Structure 1
Amino acid sequence: MQALDLLLERRSIANLVEPAPEGKALENIIKAGLRAPDHGNLTPWRFVIAQGEGLRKLADILVHAAEVNQSSDAVIEKLKKAPFRAPMVITVIAKVKEHEKVPALEQYLSAGCAAQAMQMAAVAQGFQGFWRSGEWMFHQEVHQAFGLEGEDQIVGFLYLGTPGCSAMKVPERNIADYVSYL
């Protein structure tokens, strides 16, 4: 797949099945994340991979946070199943470092770029994915389970696997609606 086509045709696919990336393919995905823009060379990212039993552990972390919140049974049941929507989930974390020239915001953006690069590397190798966020990535119990400190933040859960369906058509957008010139 050509690089420009990869970017112009980017589409999340939420129906993911086995196999998940492994070996060299997974290594390429991680390496792509490590190439994200990184002002100050701080490497402000960490990637926690869950697959197999790790998906159950991720579900347990989410369910525990929901129980602490006294969430409804429906929310808890949904969270029990959430990680199993793909054979692999990579939690992308911004590990914020104190720096006089690189504020936390830049480090969050860098971690977000890492997630995007990882998703694109997966697609380039024949896999697919989708990037999820939501209230649970901000929950103190989830942060504690992942060892977050200070201004650290989960920037998303990157679900990866093999496409279980065809991608929907990429929506057409009028460039003029989003661009202006000084």
Structure 2
Amino acid sequence: MPKADPAALAFLQNRRSRPAKTLRPPVPDEEALRPLLTAAARTPDHGKLEPWRFIVIDSAAMARLASVVERRGAALGLPEEDITKGRSQFDQGHLAVAVVEVQKPSPKIPPLEQTYSAGAVCLALLNAALAAGWGANWLSGWPSHDRGFLQEGLALAPHERIAGIIHIGTETAAPPERPRPDIDRITTWL
């Protein structure tokens, strides 16, 4: 019989993201953030390619990134409401970690599996932050997919892209529970 970890399973069965707009200081400092990044980096990674890296975004960087979003949105001719929504995570954010997907050439590991690994890092970081007692939320939005924003705002190389931006802070309001998937409806047993 395997050795169970009931507390870990209960945490995973009941975990709940916290809306980024409700997260406030204090936020984790480098010493508190390092174990969360370490936990996220233990994500399954076929071929040990590490097809991801982290960019920690502090409050000063948030203000700069909000301005970049504003400029990029205008350059793209986006509606004002899209620009406002795109910059809101940076206007309201205090600390976030951008998980950057870094595709690596491999004859054995297809690019899609590297993408899955980067997504798994996002969830692992989100869960690590929640398990450590912080509020956390995984966001993206149009700026995360705009090459101009990625280059100007985050200095990403042409082969890099954002898998997710994980906002971390102190929870100020508990979110209401929401409906969860019906396991019987989405599961096929063979």
Residue of structure 2 equivalent to 1:13: 18
* Identity score, percent: 29
**Residue 71 of structure 2 aligns with which residue?**
64
Q: What letter matches 1:179 in structure 2?
A: T
CA contact under 8 A between 1:25 and 1:122: conserved in structure 2? no
Number of matched pairs:
182
How high is the TM-score relative to the length of structure 1? Answer: 0.90
Structure 1 residue 51 displacement after superposition:
1.5
Partner of 1:153: 161
Cα separation, partners in 2 of 1:64 and 1:175, compared to 1, 3 Å: same
Measured against aligned partners, the alpha-carbon deviations of 1:77-99 in whole angstroms (never above 9, x if no partner) come to: 33343213332121111011111
Matched, 1:74 2:81: yes
Alpha-carbon offset, residue 150 of structure 1? 4.5
Confirm whether residue 142 of structure 1 aligns to residue 145 of structure 2.
no
> Which of these residues, 101, 107, 110, is aligned with residue 103 of structure 1?
110
Distance 1:147 1:51 in 2: 16
CA-atom RMSD in angstroms: 1.9
Query: 1:119: which partner in 2?
Result: 126
Deviation at 1:75, TM superposition (A): 2.9
Which amino acid in 1 is paired with 2:115? Answer: Y
Q: Secondary structure at the match of 2:175?
A: coil
Q: In the alignment, which residue of structure 2 is the partner of 1:176?
A: 184
Matched AA of 1:6: F
Which structure 2 segments of 5+ residues have no match?
A: 1-5
Secondary structure of 1:160 counterpart: strand
TM-score (norm 2): 0.87
In 2, distance between residues paired with 1:123 and 1:99?
A: 34
Map Cα deviations across residues 124-148 of structure 1 (whole Å, 9 max, x no partner). 1110111112222111102223333
CA distance in 1, matches of 2:101, 2:12: 23
Q: Unmatched 5+ residue regions in structure 1?
A: none
Over 3 Å counting, the alpha-carbon distance change for 1:76 and 1:173 in structure 2 is: closer
Tell me the residue number matched to 2:175. 167
Q: Is the 8 A contact 1:6 1:120 kept in 2?
A: no
CA deviation after TM superposition for structure 1 residue 105, in Å: 1.0
Which letter does structure 1 place at the counterpart of 2:129?
A
